[in-house]
Amino acid sequence: MSIEQNVHELLHELPPDVQLVAAAKSMGIPQVLQAIDAGVKIIGENYIQEAEEKYKVIGNRVKWHFIGHLQSNKVKKAVAIFDMIETVDSVEIASAIAKRCAEVGKIMPVLIEVNSGAEEQKCGVLTENAAYVISAVSRFPSIKVMGLMTMGPLTGEQEEARPYFAKTREVFENIKGLNIDGIEMKYLSMGMTNTYKVAIEEGANIVRIGSKIFGPRKS
């Protein structure tokens, strides 16, 4: 199927309250434009340099979400391009984002990335530390915490991912109940091509889908 057909099928399938982020890592500008023409409203990028190249051509036709690991030396460029950073995983990176946003008069919506499986090779805040980190980040006036994001295990099996998604949803609801000033627990970003259906069942309202839209990536 074509990119257009893939997008139409997905948009028809997803519940109306679930936002689709087209994960465009390693995709060229023509493919991304096809997805946008088919109805994609949010592009997700993992790498700043790739995002810059696409942004120069596409600009504000869509919203841009950063969904990769953000290094502090790339914060300035990230703040210039993105409408949301989904992968804030420390108070330090939040501080760097807030400082840059203050300099340019921008308030950046962010999600706190949770390492729901406590996997050593993964970025993200441990579930037991999430409330502390969010409370600390909430004090930066140039950042707006809007919810949580998690990757889930990389095995790609739907049911293997379910407990991780359920745990993240539990953390999300717990933090929502704390009523921390300055945060709005609105978004739960979970699930990719292989796991988005289970993620939605477990409460995701943002899904990040790449290969189901663009086809398999070249390694």
- CA 109, CA 183: separation in Å to the nearest integer? 10
- Report pLDDT for 121: 65
Element (H, E) at 139: none
> Which residue bears the tokens 């995709």?
27
75-114 pLDDT per residue, tens? 999 999 999 999 999 999 999 999 999 999 999 999 999 9
Which CATH class for the 3-214 domain? alpha beta
Pair of tokens at residue 5? 């057909």
- Report pLDDT for 162: 94
64 CB burial (10 A radius; 0-12, 13-18, 19+): buried
- Report pLDDT for 157: 75
List the pLDDT tens digit at each of the 219 positions of the chain: 899 999 999 999 999 999 999 999 999 999 999 999 999 999 999 999 999 999 999 999 999 999 999 999 999 999 999 999 999 999 999 999 999 999 999 999 999 999 987 667 678 898 999 999 999 999 999 999 999 999 877 666 788 899 999 999 999 999 999 999 999 999 999 999 999 999 999 999 999 999 999 998 765
Which residue type is seen at 175? I
- The domain locations on the chain are 3-214
> How far is C-alpha 34 from the chain's CA centre?
21
- Say which DSSP state 59 is in: G
- Report pLDDT for 123: 82
